Amino acid sequence: MRYRTDYSAALLASPPAILAIGDWRLHYQAYSSREQDARAPVLLLGGAFQSFRSFAAEVDELLAAHPVILLDLPSQGGNLQLAPELGLEQLADLIAAFAEQLQLPPLMPIGLSYGSALAALFAARHPQRCARL
């Protein structure tokens, strides 16, 4: 993955990158101190009413030691694609598909609100893709 190295909190309001997996669109932003970074990234997963801007302080703090990826799955955060048919298991599997498609090293998911349930389920269903929870 190619990371942005120009992080500022203002960028969290900018349009995300979009990765299509089947019919689903996953919105993300990725930051690091290095453009190419093999370290395990922190994956931030929010709840229904959180946006990437909700994580401004956390991204700023975490970037000193880790790449940071912010991810909005369908029906989550700023991703307006509705997916009422997707349960938590399918959303956790979309996280794994996201990691596979972008050839990411094992992730360190951090979830807030129902994002914490997604983080835990992702780790349980895809332990090979999870560095730590």
What's residue 47's pLDDT? 79
Count of Cβ atoms closer than 10 Å to residue 19 Cβ: 16
7, 63 Cβ separation under 8 angstroms: yes
Q: Tell me the per-residue pLDDT of 14-50, one tens digit each, with 9 for 90 and over.
A: 999 999 999 999 999 999 999 889 999 999 999 777 8
What's residue 40's pLDDT? 96
- Residue reference for tokens 């000193």: 64
Among 42, 31, 41, residue whose Cα is nearest residue 5: 31
What's residue 29's pLDDT? 98
Q: Mind listing the domains of the chain with CATH numbers?
A: 16-129 (3.40.50.1820)
Q: Tell me the per-residue pLDDT of 75-104, one tens digit each, with 9 for 90 and over.
A: 998 999 999 999 999 999 999 999 999 999
